[in-house]
Amino acid sequence: MKRLCLAAVVSCFAAPAALAQEHFTEGSVWECNSYRTKQGHFDDYMKYLRQNFLPPSQEAKKAGLVQDQKVYLHVPTNPTEPDVVLCTLYTSFAKALDYDAGDEAKAKDIAAKHWKTLDEQKQRDMAAKRFEFRDFLGTAFYREVNLKPMP
């Protein structure tokens, strides 16, 4: 009986997803991190990103860890909204969320090359400067979909 109930519940959740597939095909996944720069530190944060976000991002793309990375600026309408959003494009939710030892090793090599040290604590200490410039607001994931034409 428990299995029958479980199957019914699962089918209720799976049915809308199956019906939605007639309208689109699934694409890549964006992971977007939102930040609010502290008063008077927007330019400092942009400089930090140019020096310490852009070079490793380009290396991660070359290494096949990510498909793309973007920086978006947003005009906030209230104090809880971000003014900077950093987005990373992955091929799938699995690539965005699942642990892969090979990918982690590549990412550590990129970080060691950028920060010029293998010591991860020293890398974290050097990267901590960004906390003076901004506050982290949260992470959201967005799936690209490709709409199918009407018949």
Mean pLDDT, the chain, integer: 89
- Tell me which residue of 106, 105, 123 sits closest to 114, measured CA to CA: 123
Q: Is the pLDDT of residue 4 over 50?
A: no
The amino acid sitting at 137 is L
Sheet-wide strand order for 134-147: 68-73, 84-90, 24-37, 134-147
pLDDT, one tens digit per residue, over 99-136 is 899 999 999 999 999 999 998 999 999 999 999 999 99
What is the average per-residue pLDDT within 20-30?
90
- pTM for the model stands at 0.81
Q: Is the pLDDT of residue 25 over 80?
A: yes
**Residue 84: φ, ψ to 5°:** -135, 130
DSSP state of 37: E
pLDDT at position 99, please?
87
CA 120 vs CA 37, 105, 133: distances in Å: 25, 12, 22
pLDDT, one tens digit per residue, over 65-111 is 999 999 999 999 999 999 999 999 999 999 999 989 999 999 999 99
- Domains of the chain in start order, with CATH, are 24-147 (3.30.70.100)
What is the average per-residue pLDDT within 140-145?
96
Q: Is the pLDDT of residue 10 over 50?
A: no
pLDDT at position 5, please?
46
